[in-house]
Amino acid sequence: MHKGHSDTTTDGIRIRVGAQLMPNESDPENKEHAYVYRVIITNVGQHKAKLLARHWIIRDANNARRDVRGPGVVGQFPNLATGQSFEYASRCVLPTEWGTMEGTYTFQREDGKHFEARIGRFFLARTVDPIPAAEA
């Protein structure tokens, strides 16, 4: 695993996340530190699962917490069969130079059962390793 990134598996859903600072889109004088984060969701389990919703917990360097909830991810609701992956990128702007993100995705199995897949804490900081090329 790369320094500052996250790699967690819950109920057969593996979630890898890494972020990096976007200096050209940041404006530190106005307390805007822009980060891009890339998420790779892989179904490593035995049953199909559809992503329904997201819940992010974002903390800045002052430990101020912001919760972001919503349907799907980037306007999509990936339905992953065993071995399938879905990848997307998004961004987060912090008022401080560094912070953290973590959370959950709500998934539904074909039998209708819902479960929360944990997104482990990762860091939004200039010292975090660059986001690696897509992994198999």
Tracing tokens 């990128």 back to the chain, one arrives at 89
Task: Measure the CA angle with vertex 51, ends 47 and 54; round to 5°.
Answer: 140
Question: Radius of gyration (Cα) for the chain, nearest Å?
Answer: 15
Amino acid at 136: A
d(CA 46, CA 81): 8
* DSSP notation for 92-108: EEESSS-EEEEEEEEEE
Taking 60 as the threshold, does the pLDDT of residue 135 lie above it? no
The answer for 52, left when phi > 0, alpha when psi is -120 to 50, beta otherwise, is: alpha
What is 6-124's CATH topology?
Answer: Immunoglobulin-like (2.60.40)
Strand partners, 101: 58, 122
The pLDDT tens digits for 92-129 are: 999 999 999 999 999 999 999 999 999 999 999 988 87
Give the Cα separation of 28 and 87 in Å (integer): 29
Give the angle subtended at the CA of 77 by the CAs of 73 and 80, to the nearest 5°.
115
Task: Give pLDDT, residue 58.
Answer: 98
Give the tens place of pLDDT for each residue, 35-92: 999 999 999 999 999 999 999 999 999 999 999 999 999 999 999 999 999 999 999 9
φ, ψ of residue 49 to 5 degrees: the values are -145, 135
